[in-house]
Amino acid sequence: MSQQHFWNEKFSREGYLYGKRPNAFIESCSNYFDRKKSFLCLGEGEGRNAIYFAKKGFDITALDASDIGLKKLEEFAKYESVHVKTKCIDLNKWNPSKKYGSIVASYLHMHKDDRKPLFEKIENSLERDGVFIGEFFSTKQLNYSSGGPKDIDLLYTVDDFLDNFSMCKKIKVEEILTNLDEGKGHQGKASVIQVVIKKL
């Protein structure tokens, strides 16, 4: 099943699967983001992070494999009277053409073998002093029913991040237990990896 087909099935349901509020960890890292620099949301789905930061005055681009998710993002943006540039693309086929001051992602479902090429693209897309910030389900999430894939190949370890991003400073790469309250899709105790990585 393609990424687009998988996510279109999820996002075709009524309402916003993961709610309309931004990911709490990404929101908590707002002090790292510079409004004067471009801001990229990866695997952004229905737009909860993109809309939040667009309302804060950031120049936002959002990428996702699901055209249905991005259509809902655009409707959300119109309702909130903000503009978000969108591009429908599988991140495995993404070829970055510009630099960003901030790149964020929440719960990217990337197969283990596909992560290194994606992380290299993210690293190369960051401006000097730019940041990559995100929250990802860890392999221990298999013990919890709060959301996320049940395929261990789609879940992350701390080493996935520590072994990559050689041109960056790892400000935070930490596996923690947290309580998710993100729409119908993410509810309850979860094992996640929180990442703050800065380009040197």
CATH number at residue 108: 3.40.50.150
Is the pLDDT score of 111 beyond 90? yes
Q: Is the pLDDT of residue 8 over 80?
A: no
- Give the closest residue to 23 by CA, choosing from 1, 2, 45: 45
Query: Do the beta carbons of residue 154 and residue 111 sit within 8 Å?
Result: yes
Count of domains in the chain?
1
- Work out the pLDDT band at 6, boundaries 50, 70, 90: confident
pTM attached to this predicted model: 0.95
- Domain with 98 in it: 3-199
Summary mean pLDDT of the chain: 95
